Amino acid sequence: MAKKDKVTGLTDREKLFVLEYCKDLNSAQAAIRAWYSEKTARTIWSENLTKLDIVEEVAKELKKKFSKVEKDGDRVIQCLVELTERCMQKKPVMRYNKELKDMEQVTEEDENWVMQWVRTFDSAWANSALEKLGKYHKLFTDKSENTNIVKVDFWWLTDEQLLALVTKK
């Protein structure tokens, strides 16, 4: 009999099955990749997914996997926000003064004849980052999303009735 881990209560092959199963959620292929024979893989995966220790370990692995994806997604959103803020900062407009042989900030008069510094910001990058944030938060959707999904069970219909229902125009 295979030696079980004291912490998880799983054998090495069962641990491998859990890791392989979490890759693509294909239990038959996970059993084959965990070195079970192709003949026994079908029965092994169904057995394995009824064992409480294995199901708990699968849940732990999937939780780790999805929390990493969530953290990566949060990081992307954070970077887009920082990029937007940086691009929206107004920067002084500079020009080269030939007499002084140096850069100087451009000024212009406002409506009260007061000299003001001319400032600009990077609108292209800001626009791009804001567009991506808007898409992420679904602010610019052209299609309406139907959240009122009704689940109907047709188990009581015969194949002929179901076919007639599907092909009905």
- State what percent of residues in the chain have pLDDT above 90: 0
**pLDDT tier at 49 (50, 70, 90 boundaries)?**
confident
**Residue 155: predicted pLDDT:** 66
**Residue 50: predicted pLDDT:** 85
CA-closest candidate to residue 48, choices 34, 38, 60: 34
The residues spanned by each domain of the chain are 12-136
- Residue with the larger pLDDT of the pair 164 and 48: 48
Q: Please indicate, yes or no, whether the overall pTM of this predicted structure exceeds 0.75.
A: no
Say how far apart CA 129 and CA 122 lie, in whole Å: 11
First to last CA, the chain: 60
Q: For tokens 């292209």, what's the residue?
A: 124
**Residue 1: predicted pLDDT:** 63
8 Å CB contact between 80 and 133: yes
**pLDDT tier at 96 (50, 70, 90 boundaries)?**
confident
Residue 64 has pLDDT above 80, yes or no: yes
Per-residue pLDDT tens for 101-156? 888 888 777 777 777 777 777 777 777 888 888 787 777 666 666 666 666 666 67
| Mean per-residue pLDDT, 85-89 | 76
Q: Strands, E, within the chain: which ranges? A: 91-92, 94-97, 102-105, 107-109, 115-117, 119-120
**If one looks up domain 12-136 in CATH, what number appears?**
1.10.10.1400
Residue 169 has pLDDT above 60, yes or no: no
**Residue 70: predicted pLDDT:** 67
